Structure formats: structure tokens, C-alpha cells
Chains A and B, each alone.
Chain A
Amino acid sequence: MAVLTTLWAIGVLLPIMSLVLISFLQGRGLSFLWTFSFSAYASVFVDYRIETILRSLRVVGLVTLIELALAFPFALWLAKGIREGWTKSILLVLLVVPFFLSPAARTIVWRPILGREGLINSMLMGSGVTDTPMDWLLFTEFAVHLGLIGPYFPSMVWPIFISISLIDDELIKAARDLGATPLQALRDVVLPLSVPGIVAGVIFTAIPMLGDNVATTLLGGGRVSLMAETFDDLVRAMNYPGAAALGSAMLGAFLVIAIIIVLAFARLRSSATNPFESMKA
């Protein structure tokens, strides 16, 4: 146990602490000045970078919500709607496939579909729906949203699927026997019990997505600047304190958001875990 704790401290805590430490140093050329300073934070949090951060949070927030809306019914169907067997196994394997493809390969396929002379525009123009190609399909925020949905779908489905699978079928049957409609059983039994999966899914989806620079580079066309690119920029300019300052600030923000989510779900769960409470009266 002590060994594991030590490894964790070295492998996880030390780099994070180094990040925070570097964010309070000043860079000079290829070296550091060992004086405590907020200058890295001041240089990073300027108007256009703040805009980029806010845009990233908005895009990631929206895509995460879309993922949740798509993944929950899918995970529910996968866990409770189909029997164990080939279909289920194949679907589960298919969910893993995106992890085998390079992020660039699975994103670039959108370009010939969304482009000015792409599949969608050709179909629309061929069928006479429109005369001119719709430029907004590619190199826009729309394209970036679309490009992000596919790769992060499994990250949302898996935890929710596991947590719904763990719900005892008897509980759902009992709810139905006691007169709950399917919707009530879903709302009062399945949803509260799948909260841990939803929380995990949101975290596994949103956090890596904040660091995604593939969709924005390949589908944003330099017009949709997101935070991951800002890190790239700062590291490229060898502004390590700046990159560390941005990283530390994000770390702080994530911690706050994670605590809020956990507290909110805990509250939701405690108020909803006992659907029979209202029947006592």
C-alpha cells in the first residue's frame, strides 16, 4: 500500500505540484528566474485568451450535454433493453473501435462530407434544395461540435452502461408492480441509481475534450480557437510559466466544478433514493 501511495505521489502529485510551482516563476529565454511572481498569470489572462477559454467551456459544456442526451437512452437500451448475446457483444465491441483509430483519422473524414463540394452539399445541390453550397457546414463551430461528438460518445456510454447494468432488475419490476409507470420507474429508480455512472461519464467526457486540439484544428479551419491550441501556442513560444499558469487555473476550475457536480448529484440522490417516502403519508 505504501509503495502504491509513493508511486501515486511521484507519478501524479509531483508533476501537478511542479506545474503550480512553475506558474509562479518567471521565464527568461530558456531558463527560469527563481522569484515568486504573478506575471505568468497576468500575461495569460488577456482578453483574447479569456474569450478562448470561455468559448472552450461553452463548446465542451454543450457537447457534453448532447453526449449525455444521446448516451443515456443508448446505455439504458444496451443494459436493459437487449438480451445477452451476439448483438450485445458486437455493439460493445463497436463502442471500443474509435479508440483504435488515430484522432486525426476519425476527425478528417468529416471534411469530404461537410466541405463546399462535399457529400452533403452535393446532395443538397443535386436535388435542387439549394443553388449555392452551404459554407457554414465546415470550418465553423458547428463542424467542431460535430467532430467532437463521435470520439467522446463511448466515454459517456461506458460508465452509464455499467452503472445501469448493476441495477437489480427486481427493483424495476417491484416499481412496476407497485403501479409505477415506465417513466416513473425510470425517473425514481433507474435515474437515481445511475447517478455515479452519469457523473463519471460527464467527467470522462468533458475533461479530455477540453484538451482536444484535433477537431478544432482539422474542422475549425483556424476560425474556432479553443483552449488546447492556447496551450500549444504557449508551449511553442516556450512560455512555460504561462502554460503552467493556464494549466493551474484550469486545474483549480476543474476541482471547483467537480466538487459542485458531486455535491449536486449527492443531493439529488439523497432526495430521490427513497421513492416510497411519499407513499408513507
Chain B
Amino acid sequence: MAKAKTGSAGVSRRTMMKGLTAGAAVLAAPGLIGRAKAETGTIRMMGGPTVALEDWSLFEAETGLKMEFTPFHVDDVGALYNEILVNEAGERFDLINTLAGVQKNLVEQGAVAELDTGKLTNYGGIADTVKRSPVLYQGGDKDWSIPLYYNADSFGYFPEKLGLPRPPEALDWDLLLNSEETLGQTALDGDFIALMIGGMYLKHRGLADIADPANMTAAEVKIATDFLIERKQAGQFRTLWKTYDEQVANFVNGEVLVQRCWEPAVKEAKSKGLDIEYATCSDFHINWMHATFMPVQAAERENVDEIYKAMDWFLGGSYAAELAIFRGYTGSRVDLGLEYANEAGWPEDKIAQVEANIVKVDTKFSNPNYWIGGAPDDLASHDAEMARFRNA
């Protein structure tokens, strides 16, 4: 994506959009249009729905701050860019959580404030492998965001119904993408992460020459899409989902036997009594990290110290421990998480879950075949190909 200006002849699209909407704005009540004033004592955060714990009472008790959380489907990178760069989400939020790779564009567009990590007590203790992970964007060797949590993604499946082993015994992605047995009973992402999965599948099996499935060129993404269209037309996919709720509903309503999904969807479906597992794969995983940054606009606000305090809480033990139980994700200070669980006198089975979670992520991350869920440079091709895939 190009920079915001195109020389003297170019007019910033944001400026133009503002100009065009100015007429409409005068008609609206000033209270609705005016920038939301920073309210001290309250943190306004936008992020993936899985950032949230069951409620924010722990956050509020430990920080003395209130949390106003707005969920956003952050995997839909185009929509996310639009929300941040065009709709200026930074005007309305103190913290924004995204997939860790997408910061590159946002930093280049000047939407992200550089962090003063000295203000974060828990930051120094984050393992270097996490802090300087290739999954996380750190342009100019600067800290643009804090790593919130990470996981290696795959798909959920019904082991009993399919007669398949449970993790850690490994399966492969044929079960989801290319299997007679599951024909018409699998589901896939409805955004272009689906195309990246197609790209990784072809690359791993040597069926196509794709350099980086997470950042494909127009020609590469076309090959990946052609493969998925062929599978779609063969009747492989029952549905393409767009939201977390749909993932859970597809399991619960018996629409699918195998579904590319987020691990929390499997956890939630399990809690409703279904026998589902989240696969460990022999071929590849989607390694990703969620990171949280402070928008440039927020760095100027009077509640900036509170924003740092909130960030520090996300790097603390209580969040890491609760998240491991609630979502199955690994927080960046999982060591503090384990410490917290022990100190709080958690029952052994819950502590074991936190420990198992650490082992799970270590195992999955040691698989050399992975790609990074982030943002492709050629967003337009990915979106156009996704439209072609949906239409097929």
C-alpha cells in the first residue's frame, strides 16, 4: 500500500472524505459527530472478541479502571485498516488490539504511537522469543505494540464421529480441504485467511511455487484461489463463516464435522457437551499472535498513564492464567500466569491446564512449517480473489 500522499497532485483520501462528509455533518447533532472526549478512569479498547475474559471485573478490581470494550473481527484485515485509517478509530479508542503482523501498514501510515516500554513493569520479563518473534512487527527495531497472546491455529473436529485420534496425535489439513469422507461437512474462514490456508497447503505439498503464503503476490493468490474454487465446486465446504458465533453455531447445530476455527470456539462447543478436539497437525499450523498498540491520537491524551497501566495489566499473571483456562491461548507472561494460579490456590486440574497450554504451544511452534497470520502487501488482489472464491 502506498503512502498517504501522492505528491502535490494527490489529496489525502481522509481529507477528501472529511470534506465530502462535511455537508452532512452540519446537519447532524454536534454531540454525535464531535470527538469523544477522553474520560479519565475509563479505558476504551477495540479488539478481537477473544481478548475479553468472561467479564472485566478482574481488570477493574486490579487496576481501578473501567473497561469499555468494543469487539471487532480483527482477522478481516481490510475492514480493520478501514476502521483505523479511514474511520480514525484512534479518535475513539485508547487501545487497539490486532493480529501482530498488521502493524506494518499502520505504522507506515503513522497510526501507531511508539511505546515507552519503560512504563510497563511486566514488559521486561517477556521472553525474547516472544518479544522479538518473527510474527510480531518491529519496524526500525522499535516497540510498536505489546504481544498479548499467541497460539498455533488449526481446525476443530469430532474424533468419535470420524474415528480419528485425539491430540497430540497429529492429523493433516486434507481432512478439512480435500477429503471424500468429510465432503460437504467442513467449513472455512469467510475472509482471505482461507486463501492463505490454500496457499500453505499447495506450498507444503509442493503443488505450487508460493514464496510466502502469508504475503502472496497477485499471481500466487490466484493459484491458491483456483485450488479452493476447485474444492468448493467439488462440494467440500458446507459454509464459509464470518464471525466467531457462527463457528460455535456450526458445531453446535451439527452443520460440520471439521471446521477451520479459533480454539475458543472448540472450547465453547466442548462446554456445551460436544466431543470436539482442536487438531495438532503434522503438515502446518497458522502461527499467530495478537498485539495491542496505542493509537497516535491516544498518546496525546491526559489518560496516557492509565493506558500504560491497562497495558501492563494485560501482561500480568491474572490475565495470562484466566485466558489459558477460558480461551486456551498463551499469554506473553505465561510464567506470571502460572505463578498467579499457584498463589491464588487454584485447584490442581486448573493449574495442570495452564501448564498443558504452555506445552501445547511449545510443541506446535516447534513445527518448522507455519505461516504468519498478518496482512498481505497486495490487499486488493486478496480481496478480489476472495470475492471470486465466494462467487464460485
Contact = CB atoms under 8 A, between A and B. Distances in A.
Contacts of B3: 29-30
Contacts of B391: 48-49, 51-52, 225
Interface string A51-79: 11000000000000000000000000000
Nearest to B26: A10
B79 A236 contact: yes
B254 A32 contact: no
Contact of A115 (B190, B253, B387): B253
Contacts of B379: 237-238
B85 A30 contact: yes
Contacts of A218: 246
Interface in A21-63: 27-34, 48-49, 51-52
Interface string B230-260: 0010000111111000100100011100000
Contacts of B386: 233
Interface stretch (A11-19, A91-99, A159-167, A198-206): A11-19
B253 A116 contact: yes
Given A222-B240, A238-B78, A238-B379, A28 B253 contact: no
B5 to A, nearest CB: 6
A52 B387 CA distance: 9
Contact of B240 (A27, A49, A135, A221): A221
Interface string B61-84: 000000000000000101101100
Nearest to A43: B384
Interface string B357-392: 000000000000000000000011011101110111
A233 B255 CA distance: 26
Nearest to A121: B254
A31 B390 contact: no
A218 to B, nearest CB: 8
Contacts of B239: 139, 221-223
Contacts of B20: 14-15, 18
A155 interface: no
B34 interface: no
Contact of B1 (A29, A139, A223): A29
A247 B274 CA distance: 45
B380 A30 contact: no
A138 B380 contact: no
Contacts, number: 135
A49 B16 CA distance: 27
A31 B253 contact: no
Contact of B383 (A10, A18, A28, A236): A236
B4 A30 contact: yes
Contacts of B109: 30
Interface string B1-45: 111111001111110100010011011000000000000000000
Contact of A237 (B249, B383, B390, B392): B383
B86 interface: yes
Contacts of A235: 82
A273 interface: no
A216 B296 CA distance: 37
B234 to A, nearest CB: 13
Given A15-B20, A15-B24, A111 B390 contact: no
B1 A30 contact: yes
B184 interface: yes
B9 A10 contact: no
B198 to A, nearest CB: 14
A28 B10 contact: yes
B86 A238 contact: yes
Given A223-B232, A229-B387, A233-B386, 10 more contacts: A11-B23, A15-B23, A30-B2, A221-B238, A222-B237, A222-B240, A225-B387, A225-B391, A237-B78, A238-B86
5 contacts: A117-B255, A139-B255, A221-B241, A237-B379, A237-B383
Ordered nearest first, which 9 A-B pairs have the shortest CB separation? A222-B240, A29-B2, A221-B239, A236-B78, A237-B383, A117-B254, A10-B23, A225-B391, A31-B10
